[in-house]
Structure 1
Amino acid sequence: MLVNTRAIVLNTLKYGESQVIADLLTEEYGRLSFIISVTRSRRSVRKTPMLQPLTILSVCFDHRPQRRLGRIKEATVAFPAVSIPFDARKLSIALFIAEFTSYATRSEQRDDCLYAFVENSIRWLDACQGDFANFHIVYMLHLTRFVGFFPNLYDAQDDACFDMRGGCFVDNAPPHPDFLPPHEASKIKLLMRLSYATMHLLAISRQERGRILDVILTYYRLHQPDFPEMKSLPVLRTLFV
């Protein structure tokens, strides 16, 4: 069955001399992988810039659920980014977000809200002309809404601990090391209220931003035990942490 849908490039892996395996987040079917020609023939999908991380595509492919790797018949760039590819700081965030999303959504099926969130986030970052140093933090926190472990903020008292395994606030420290003490737990509610439009109001140091990033990554790994180390993290730390 031929399918036309928008799709976001998350990751590519070289396969032979003239092909790549591309992992895409599609609007119609969630996560799918395709084997794509990158030769210079008229019908092929060229690697640059079409397969750069977080590129938003319009693709046509023959959907066969039993196939592990699909074949794209046609692809065009649906949203040509005007700043991300040319701004080193935005590009470092884009590479991190693409890798992070690739790991966090590996088993996701169709989810219109998830797809809309990711695409709208890319568009916002590309259009942003102000401060975006906290973009990846807001993105990672809000993504928890779609992958099944959004923190339970009910009864978030100032003197409570946050149990990262349970994703909830507790009156006393749990009998395991994966929790935040009250002085850090009290900041979660504030962080979860941030949006891209308001994140510039959060005045934090590079050290504090680094600590928040580490806590969020730990939180994801507790709920997705196969979440690997991030290859793009060192560059992000150099620029923002």
Structure 2
Amino acid sequence: MIIDDEILIFHALRYSDDQLIVEGLARNYGRVSFVVRISHAPRAKVRHVIFQPMAVLEVQWEEKPRAKLMRPIAARVSQPWSSLHTSPIKAAITLFLAEFLLQVCRHEQSGELFFDYLLHSLTWLDTAEEGFANFHLLFLMRLAQFLGIAPNTSDTGLPFFDLMAAEFVSRAPAHAYYIYGDEARAFEQLLRMNFSTMHLFQLTRTQRNRILELILTYYRLHIPSLPELKSWEVLREIFT
């Protein structure tokens, strides 16, 4: 059966002199992996150069139930980006989010609602000229609801946030995975923000990196298989 679907690319790795291994998320099909032939022919139906992190492509392939790697029959850019891959700051954010999504998105994370969240978020970042320093923080906080690990927001006025229980509590839990004070308030504010208002949340680079560290700790508590992310170190150095 021939499948035609929109795909958000997470990762492309050179496998041999003439092949790439590509991983991504299809709007209707879920997680997909391809082997893409490297070709420099100007009229090739599948140009390997378009398979880059966070590219949105329309890909056609033949479904083979026992095959782990599919071979695309045709591919084209579905959503051209104007700045995600050319702005150094946006490119660092994009690579970080692509690596993160590669690790946390499983096959069951499919469907238009989830895919549209990713596409809408990236479109907002691509068109933003300023005020996007907190984008990756808000993106990760909102992503949690699609992964089934969203924090409970019913008691946000309480002083402690239990990272393991994913809720605000009145007293410090018996374990070490909790935050309070300014850090708990930062989590509370992130849960109430959207992309158009997040610029009002003024943070220093040190504060932003600390909040990102806490968000990643939260994810690792709820998704234990999440490894250390190589692109995090690059992201830590950007912004002022």
TM-score, normalising length from structure 1?
0.94
Give the conservation status (yes or no) of the 8 Å contact 2:25–2:110: no
Report the 3-state secondary structure (helix = DSSP H, G, I; strand = E; otherwise coil) of the residue aligned with 1:61.
Answer: strand
Q: How far apart in 2 are the matches of 1:46 and 1:234?
A: 31
Q: How far apart in 1 are the matches of 2:197 and 2:15?
A: 42
Structure 1 partner of 2:40? 40
Structure 2 partner of 1:113? 113
Q: How far apart in 1 are the matches of 2:239 and 2:111?
A: 31
Amino acid at match of 1:70: M
Q: How far apart in 1 are the matches of 2:135 and 2:185?
A: 21
Identify which range, 174-183 or 20-29, moves more after superposition.
174-183
Q: How far apart in 2 are the matches of 1:181 and 1:125?
A: 30
Mapping for residues 86-165 of structure 1, pairs under 5 Å: 86-159=86-159, 161-165=160-164
Give the conservation status (yes or no) of the 8 Å contact 1:4–1:58: yes
Per-residue deviation at 1:110?
2.1
Report the 3-state secondary structure (helix = DSSP H, G, I; strand = E; otherwise coil) of the residue aligned with 2:102.
Answer: helix
- Give deviations 1:3-37, integer Å, cap 9, x for gaps: 11110110112111111110011001111111111
Q: Structure 1: 5+ residue runs without aligned partners?
A: none
Structure 1 partner of 2:25? 25
Per-residue deviation at 1:205?
1.1
Amino acid at match of 1:76: R
Report how many residues are paired.
239
Q: How far apart in 2 are the matches of 1:83 and 1:156?
A: 36
Q: How far apart in 2 are the matches of 1:64 and 1:148?
A: 30
Identify which range, 82-91 or 178-187, moves more after superposition.
178-187
Identify which range, 144-153 or 107-116, moves more after superposition.
107-116
Give the conservation status (yes or no) of the 8 Å contact 2:158–2:170: no
Q: Percent identity?
A: 36
Q: How far apart in 2 are the matches of 1:199 and 1:109?
A: 26
Q: How far apart in 2 are the matches of 1:71 and 1:24?
A: 13
Per-residue deviation at 1:107?
4.0
Give the conservation status (yes or no) of the 8 Å contact 2:109–2:147: no
Q: How far apart in 1 are the matches of 2:158 and 2:203?
A: 20
Q: Structure 2: 5+ residue runs without aligned partners?
A: none
Q: How far apart in 2 are the matches of 1:238 and 1:15?
A: 30
Q: How far apart in 2 are the matches of 1:181 and 1:211?
A: 13
Per-residue deviation at 1:221?
0.6
Q: How far apart in 1 are the matches of 2:170 and 2:69?
A: 48
Give the conservation status (yes or no) of the 8 Å contact 1:36–1:44: no
Give the conservation status (yes or no) of the 8 Å contact 1:149–1:223: yes
Amino acid at match of 1:45: V
Q: How far apart in 1 are the matches of 2:232 and 2:45?
A: 32
- Give deviations 1:128-148, integer Å, cap 9, x for gaps: 112211111111111001011
- Give deviations 1:79-128, integer Å, cap 9, x for gaps: 11111222111111111111111112134342221110111111111111
Per-residue deviation at 1:182?
4.1
Structure 2 partner of 1:221? 220
Amino acid at match of 2:120: N
TM-score, normalising length from structure 2?
0.94
Per-residue deviation at 1:44?
5.4
- Give deviations 1:186-230, integer Å, cap 9, x for gaps: 332211111111111111111110110000000111111110111
Structure 1 residues 164 and 55: alpha-carbon distance in aligned structure 2, compared to 1, 3 A threshold = same
Q: How far apart in 2 are the matches of 1:180 and 1:17?
A: 49
Report the 3-state secondary structure (helix = DSSP H, G, I; strand = E; otherwise coil) of the residue aligned with 2:71.
Answer: strand
Identify which range, 223-232 or 176-185, moves more after superposition.
176-185
